[in-house]
Structure 1
Amino acid sequence: MTSFGYTLMTEQAGPRQLVDHAVRAEDAGFDFEVMSDHYSPWLSAQGHAPYAWSVLGAVAHATSRVGLMTYVTCPTVRYHPAVVAQKAATVQLLAEGRFTLGLGSGESLNEHVVGTGWPAVQDRQAMLQEAIEIIRELHTGELVDYRGEYFQVDSARIWDLPDGGVDIGVAAGGPRAVERFAPLADHLVATEPDGDLVAAWNAAEGAPTIGRAKNGGAARAVGQIPVCWDPSESAAVERAHDQFRWFAGGWAVNADLPTTAGFAGATQFVRPEDVAGSIPCGPDLDAIVEAVRPFWENGFTDVALVQIGGDTQEAFLTEVAQPLLEKLRKASS
């Protein structure tokens, strides 16, 4: 059975609103909730970027059933991996075992702000590998000294640590990334319904096979898809174009642009119909189901929905979420 999640998108809502959305999403019946971890929105029209980890602590306290996950945190530039290890352990304790640490190699948009430059993709992946190694060691509860090419840890220990540490999911965009990170991670994270990624994960030496029990749980392939529900199709298309046209650039571009102005310039020729061609827009719930279908058909165990538009979340969660979840579960069963 596929699990369906709700995205707490920090780029389009303030911290108190996000906590309210988290509670409403749990009440509506979502299985899990993922949260973006950004210093800046993609486009100025989105208008928000609160600190994800403060919000996560509040969400962990305000909810009781849903799984929680960062989607995703970059543990290499803006954050030192030793700090990520500490805050992930703390959130896991607050969530009483419901939290998964989703990690990725990051985007310049969020990481350049600390003034250390933006590494090439090969360096970013090598940094991410070291960061995961550090987080894993610290989650043993032992005193850790680490000397790597990119990071150093001196006499560090996590004092408040959940039993078993914290599950780690890693965003991977191709077979080489899967081969590198699958042996280090518990779960695969991807934004495209690419069955080849799942197959590559299952073939990677030392990786937990998706769907097979590991350490009392099961490895997951966690996907994400934007949708723009609205009673008016034209209003949905307009909103998706205004706030989500950055999505059309693809991650090869998205990872390297440093500012909202850069994203606005890079997407100035993206038309509303271009966005509507890749994002389901309007009131048709069956169209949303069909857009999500490729994920479960390609082996993804979990899919998180992004409802575009911060001011539409309440209506989406109170009017649409339950019937949409019923349709999704029926179609995927």
Structure 2
Amino acid sequence: MTEYGYFLACEDHGPNELVEQARMAEQAGFTSLWISDHYHPWNGVQGHSPFVWSVIGAISRATSLPVQTAVTCPTVRVHPAVVAQAAATSAVMLEGRFRLGVGTGEALNEHILGDRWPQASVRMEMLEEAIGVIRHLLAGEEVSHHGRHYTVENARLYDVPDRPVPVDVSGFGPAAIELAGRVGDGFITTMPDVEGLDRFRRSGGGRGSGQGPAFAGTKVCYGTDRGEAVRTVHRHWPNLFLPGELGQVLPTPAHFEQASRLVTEEMAAGSGLPCGDDPDEHVRALREFADSGFDVVHVSQIGPDLRGFFDFYRTDVLPRLKD
């Protein structure tokens, strides 16, 4: 049976608000948490980007829910050896209820130290090497590694969880999905992509097991006025509707704001993203992920009415999805 979690958007909320949302999500009946890992928001209207590992530490004290990053890029901005330490500490504090979600990232977050932003094929190569380093360190081994992209010397983590931290890989194009099937414990995406999930399974489906879990995330905008909900989506998250590789290559929030001028309210209204307070619309959108074979779907509310959203899902949406 598909489970439903809540997606904490670090781009759209400050750290204290995210911890409070985690509490509210647990009270509403969501069974897990996703949390984004950004250095910048996508645009100035969103206006936030707290350090994800500090927020996870606070969440570990505030709720009993499992947590997964969606996703961390362990290749450019942060060295994989440091990501491994952060993941190990998070898993210890969450008493094993932590999964590390990783991906090839976006220039928006990863170019900030002045490093060259590689083309997609190189980013995937870097990610595969980084995952290997991370797995050895999470096992508590002393690691010395001299690879094509990373060097590690005499590194060992002394606080590691009793069980290995699962490393799930995000994939959208065919090559990235095949990488996820080959080296990831599970698969991460943001679309009810039947073909992509099948490709993940055929490519190994979780390090050759064929049985790795599939995680998805999506956004909604609850509100009593559908028109205002559409306007809220268009104002806060127009980047969702940008085509092609723009999301991976644009370097600053200002560039996203410029590109988003091409996105209209009509595009947001016709996108299929649930807007308003019709439970049938929300249930239908989330069931599409379940019908596509995803094990866990994480939902993120766009807009300020978080309490209304959690009450709506607790009473009108989650009970129907569980049925």
Q: Classify the TM-score, shorter chain.
A: over 0.9
Aligned partner of 1:300 in structure 2 is 294
Aligned partner of 1:22 in structure 2 is 22
Please give the residue correspondences for 1:89-108 in structure 2 after superposition, counting only pairs within 5 Å: 89-108=88-107
Secondary structure at the counterpart of residue 84 of structure 2: helix
Q: CA contact under 8 A between 1:29 and 1:322: conserved in structure 2? A: no
CA distance in 2, matches of 1:226, 1:246: 12
Q: CA contact under 8 A between 2:221 and 2:233: conserved in structure 1? A: yes
1:207-265 CA distance string (max 9 Å, x none) = 3323xxxxxxxx31001111011011111011000011100014621011111111111
CA distance in 2, matches of 1:172, 1:115: 25
Aligned partner of 2:179 in structure 1 is 180
Paired amino acid for 1:128: L
Please give the residue correspondences for 1:48-67 in structure 2 after superposition, counting only pairs within 5 Å: 48-64=48-64, 66-67=65-66
Aligned partner of 2:208 in structure 1 is 207
**Superposed structure 1 runs of 4+ greater than 3 Å apart:** 318-322
Unmatched 5+ residue regions in structure 1?
211-218
Aligned partner of 2:256 in structure 1 is 263
Paired amino acid for 2:322: R
Task: Among all aligned residue pairs of Structure 1 and Structure 2, give the percentage whose two residues are the same amino acid.
Answer: 41
1:291-320 CA distance string (max 9 Å, x none) = 2222111111111111102x2222212344
Paired amino acid for 1:246: N
Bigger Cα displacement from structure 2, 177-186 vs 25-34: 177-186
Aligned partner of 2:224 in structure 1 is 231
Paired amino acid for 1:136: R
Q: CA contact under 8 A between 1:286 and 1:327: conserved in structure 2? A: no
CA distance in 2, matches of 1:35, 1:321: 20
CA distance in 2, matches of 1:257, 1:249: 11
TM-score, normalisation: structure 2: 0.96
Aligned partner of 1:194 in structure 2 is 193
CA distance in 2, matches of 1:148, 1:123: 14
The answer on 1:221 being equivalent to 2:214 is yes
CA distance in 1, matches of 2:132, 2:139: 11
CA distance in 1, matches of 2:145, 2:314: 46
Bigger Cα displacement from structure 2, 276-285 vs 171-180: 171-180
1:104-141 CA distance string (max 9 Å, x none) = 00001111111112111111111100110000111121
Corresponding residue pairs, total: 320
Aligned partner of 1:214 in structure 2 is none
Paired amino acid for 1:149: R
Aligned partner of 2:158 in structure 1 is 159
CA distance in 1, matches of 2:121, 2:80: 18
TM-score, normalisation: structure 1: 0.93
